[in-house]
Structure 1
Amino acid sequence: MSRAFVNEDAGIDRPDLPELPLSRHPNYVTLRGLETLKARLAQRLEELEALRAREDRLDKLPEAAAERDIRWLEARLAMAIPVDPAEQPLDAVAFGLAVLVADAGGREIRYEITGEDEADAAQGRIAPQSPLARALIGAAPGDTVVVQRPAGALELEVLEISRP
Structure 2
Amino acid sequence: MEKVPMTVRGEQKLRSELDVLLKRRPLISQAIAEARELGDLKENAEYHAAREEQGICEAQIRDIEYKLSVAQIIDVTTMPNTGKVIFGTTITLLDLDTDKEVTYCIVGDDEADIKQNLISVNSPIARGLIGKMEGDEVAISTPGGQKEFEILEVQYI
Range of TM-score over shorter length? 0.7 to 0.9
Displacement of 1:25 in angstroms is: 7.0
Unaligned runs of 5+ in 1: 1-23
Alignment partner of 1:53: what SS? Answer: helix
**Higher alpha-carbon deviation: 138-147 or 93-102:** 138-147
The structure carrying a bigger helix percent of its residues is 2
- Find the counterpart in structure 2 of residue 76 from structure 1: 67
The TM-score with structure 1 as length reference comes to: 0.80
Instruction: State the Cα distance separating 1:48 from its structure 2 match.
Output: 2.2
The one-letter code matched in structure 2 to 1:133 is A
Q: Deviations over 1:83-122 (max 9, x none)?
A: 1111233320011110000002210000001122221101
- TM-score if structure 2 supplies the norm length? 0.84
**Cα distance in 1 for residues equivalent to 2:144 and 2:118:** 21
Q: How many residues end up aligned between the 2 structures? A: 141
Is contact 2:18-2:61 (8 Å) kept? yes
- Which of 34, 38, 41 aligns to 2:11? It is 34
Alpha-carbon distance between aligned partners in 1 of 2:126 and 2:80, rounded to the nearest angstrom: 17
Question: Who is 1:111 aligned against?
Answer: 104
Match for 1:70: what amino acid? I
Q: Structure 2 CA distance, aligned partners of 1:70 and 1:102?
A: 41
CA–CA distance in structure 1, aligned partners of residues 120 and 74 of structure 2:
14
Specify the code of the residue in structure 1 equivalent to 2:102. I
Aligned to 2:116: 123
Return the match for 1:58 from 47, 53, 66: 47
Residue 94 (structure 1) aligned with residue 80 (structure 2): no
Alignment of 1:46 onto 2:23: yes
**Aligned residue runs from structure 1 range 19-30, under 5 A:** 26-30=3-7
Residues 89, 106 of structure 1: CA spacing in aligned structure 2 closer, same or farther, 3 A cutoff? farther
How many Å separate the matches in 1 of 2:143 and 2:105? 22
Question: What is the alpha-carbon distance in structure 1 between the residues aligned to residue 100 and residue 149 of structure 2?
Answer: 10
State percent identity of aligned pairs. 32
**What root-mean-square deviation, in Å, do the aligned CA atoms of Structure 1 and Structure 2 show?**
1.6
Mark the runs of 5 or more structure 2 residues left unpaired by the alignment.
Answer: 36-45
- Asked if the contact 2:124–2:141 (Cα under 8 Å) also holds between the matched residues in 1, the reply is yes
User: Which residue in the other structure is 1:143 paired with?
Assistant: 136
